[in-house]
Structure 1
Amino acid sequence: MKSIHHLFTVLFVLFLTGCKDTPKDTPKDTTTAEPQETVTITHELGTVEVVKNPKQVVALDYASLENLKVLGIAVAGIPKSHVPDYLQDYKTNEAIVDLGTMFEVNYEQLSALEPDVIFISARMKSNYDELSKIAPTVYLQTDTSDNLASIEKNLLVFADIFDKKKEATSIITDLKTRVQTLHEQVTATDKKALMIMHNNGKFSAFGSDSRFGVLYKAFGFKEAVDHLDAARHGQAVSNEFIQDINPDYLFILDRSAVVSKQATNTATIENELIKQTQAYQNGKVVYLDPQAWYISGDGILSFKIKIKEVSDHL
């Protein structure tokens, strides 16, 4: 009898122990991650949803890089082939991935970055569809019919994405003030200007409807000659043409200095015919920074360089 009682006691203890050790069912976590806030950006090539304050940012053009810089936004990758001198800290920063050139992106490196957003301009326009497969891609280009308004519009795109509206507004206000001051100074001179590009011994001229029309429309110079071809690389002209037009100011962009990275000897450009112009005789032949005028386009920093260059030579 005692044995039976002892057996029941042991079984009862084991039962209690089993109940104690059996884990209770853990309630399943039915909560879901908060959806990320996005911004809808509409541009020339389409409409895209971009996550607010993206972390992995790629700039495949230098105007966008400039705008990100002035707003204090870090970048993960850029093309390092032709980085302007005033952006050299990005080229030497090993933490920033080199993504190729302004025309040919290294897709393997780009994909490895897993970017949240990619910014491009005209030189990468044909790559838009392919880039969009990797990450939301925003196309930003300057409207040369009104450079300043276009610059403002582009900067505000960055401001919307990165919550930098206050900073962007301050930057634009400052830029407009600089342009207004320069415009007043230029118009007071009542002088005519000619913008030319030099490339391997050849000249092309640009008027108010060209990619460099800002010299006339925003800065205030009169055109030394009307109705120039508005083609992207300008209207081919001769030394005789420049002599005949005889501008008060001759602004020269040496394309060779950035394309082949070898500046042309000024003696080659300033030949006997050029020396007969009012511009040359009055010391108003101005060599423009080709990195700011040709490589970058119209980022905030390059536009400030343009303003200062013209202002310094009035």
Structure 2
Amino acid sequence: MKKWLLAALTLMMVAFLAACGSTEETTESDTANAGAEETEEMTVTHELGETTFNKNPEKVVVFDFGVLDSMDQLEIDAVAGVPQENVPAYLEEEYGNAEKYENVGTLKEADFEAIHAMEPDLIIISGRQAEMYEEFSDIAPTIHMAVDTDNYMESFEGNMTTLGEIFGKEDQVVEELAAIDAQIEEVKATVSESDEKALITLANEGKVSAYGAASRFGIIHDVFGVQQADEGIEASTHGQSISFEYILETNPDMMFVVDRNAAVGNEASAADSLENELVQKTTAYKNDKIIYLDPDFWYLSGGGLQSVTQMVTDVQTAFE
């Protein structure tokens, strides 16, 4: 009887130890898998090349304010460095904090020494930094996420989808883009009922440039469907230089104005030079249809989830 009891107890101990060993193996396996997920690699193909890096980077240097705008909207807590000169006003309180975020230079002159010292996991740049791509890439994986003005919405949505994949925010990005698409459909419906033709301009220290379809601000024509006052404007990032006589001759029903002076902190007001005696003779001026667009959204941070939402709202308001 005692031998039987001893044998039974022995079998129970063996079973218990086996179960413990299985639990430990499972736990170790789960931990290993979790580690593998945390360091999962992804490759992004962009205008300047192909870049491979680990998903969910924890230390990111962001040179594109549109991307910064989107990371803020998606509540991605991975920004470590930004160029703190001319940060858009609506992002200034958070990202203009030099004690919290490393100042990595300006949009056109990066502080490579500071960036190198940070040892970032990822660097995100756009058009203004394209020529420095190789120097950035020597420090850390670098991706180019500028918006292609020839294909604005597809490019913007592609950038946002990529951003969502990098940081595991795919579902939220889908929701954000769906909301923007719905907004755009409303604007297009409103604009389609109007015969008004518009001229898009950038005012800079007394000088004026015009923008048409497929240009930097061409989303107004290409996506929202606003008719052009002059269909012969050349597509250009910097715009076509124009005179005040040209504005009078073109005589737009409405004018959209981006004030670069305000964007870069100059005290001169675009209205002071733009609304002169010649421009006052235009239909746009007479009908109070000179619309000053917020340069933070249109000039500094275009292509972001917040900025594009505001851009749609601005055009909707102009036609109400």
TM-score (norm 1): 0.86
Please report the RMSD computed on the Cα atoms of aligned residues, expressed in angstroms. Answer: 1.6
Q: Structure 1 residues 241 and 103, CA, compared in 2 at 3 Å: closer, same or farther?
A: same
Gaps of 5+ in 1: 1-30
Shift of 1:254: 1.6
Structure 1 match to 2:72: 69
Code of the residue aligned with 1:57 in structure 2: it is V
Structure 2 match to 1:172: 177
Q: Structure 1 residues 92 and 261, CA, compared in 2 at 3 Å: closer, same or farther?
A: farther
Structural mapping, 1:111-126, within 5 Å: 111-126=116-131
Give the Cα–Cα distance (whole angstroms) in 1 for the partners of residues 201 and 164 of structure 2.
35
- Return the match for 1:58 from 57, 61, 79: 61
Structure 2 match to 1:309: 314
Is 1:147 the counterpart of 2:147 in the alignment? no
Shift of 1:146: 2.3
Is 1:277 the counterpart of 2:282 in the alignment? yes
Shift of 1:61: 1.4
Shift of 1:219: 1.3
Shift of 1:163: 1.2
Shift of 1:199: 1.5
Gaps of 5+ in 2: 1-28
Structure 1 match to 2:235: 230
Give the Cα–Cα distance (whole angstroms) in 2 for the partners of residues 207 and 173 of structure 1.
27
Give the Cα–Cα distance (whole angstroms) in 2 for the partners of residues 273 and 103 of structure 1.
36
Give the Cα–Cα distance (whole angstroms) in 2 for the partners of residues 231 and 265 of structure 1.
21
Give the Cα–Cα distance (whole angstroms) in 2 for the partners of residues 107 and 265 of structure 1.
35
Is 1:85 the counterpart of 2:85 in the alignment? no
Structure 2 match to 1:12: none
Q: Secondary structure at 1:145's aligned position in 2?
A: helix
- Asked if the contact 1:206/1:228 (under 8 Å) is kept, the reply is yes
- Return the match for 1:39 from 31, 38, 42: 42
Structure 2 match to 1:8: none
Give the Cα–Cα distance (whole angstroms) in 2 for the partners of residues 261 and 42 of structure 1.
38
Deviations 1:269-300 (A, max 9, x none): 10111111111111100111112111122111
Shift of 1:93: 6.0
Identity level (%): 38
Shift of 1:206: 0.8
Is 1:289 the counterpart of 2:294 in the alignment? yes
Shift of 1:64: 1.2
- Asked if the contact 1:60/1:119 (under 8 Å) is kept, the reply is yes
- Asked if the contact 1:254/1:263 (under 8 Å) is kept, the reply is no
Shift of 1:209: 2.2
Structure 2 match to 1:21: none
Is 1:199 the counterpart of 2:204 in the alignment? yes
- Asked if the contact 1:50/1:161 (under 8 Å) is kept, the reply is no
- Asked if the contact 2:259/2:270 (under 8 Å) is kept, the reply is no
- Return the match for 1:48 from 44, 48, 51: 51
Give the Cα–Cα distance (whole angstroms) in 2 for the partners of residues 47 and 59 of structure 1.
18
Give the Cα–Cα distance (whole angstroms) in 2 for the partners of residues 121 and 176 of structure 1.
24
Give the Cα–Cα distance (whole angstroms) in 2 for the partners of residues 268 and 40 of structure 1.
48
The more displaced of 78-87 and 285-294 is 285-294
Structure 2 match to 1:185: 190
**Matched residue count:** 283
- Asked if the contact 2:206/2:270 (under 8 Å) is kept, the reply is no
Regions of 4+ moved over 3 Å: none
Give the Cα–Cα distance (whole angstroms) in 2 for the partners of residues 311 and 92 of structure 1.
34
Code of the residue aligned with 2:86 in structure 1: it is H
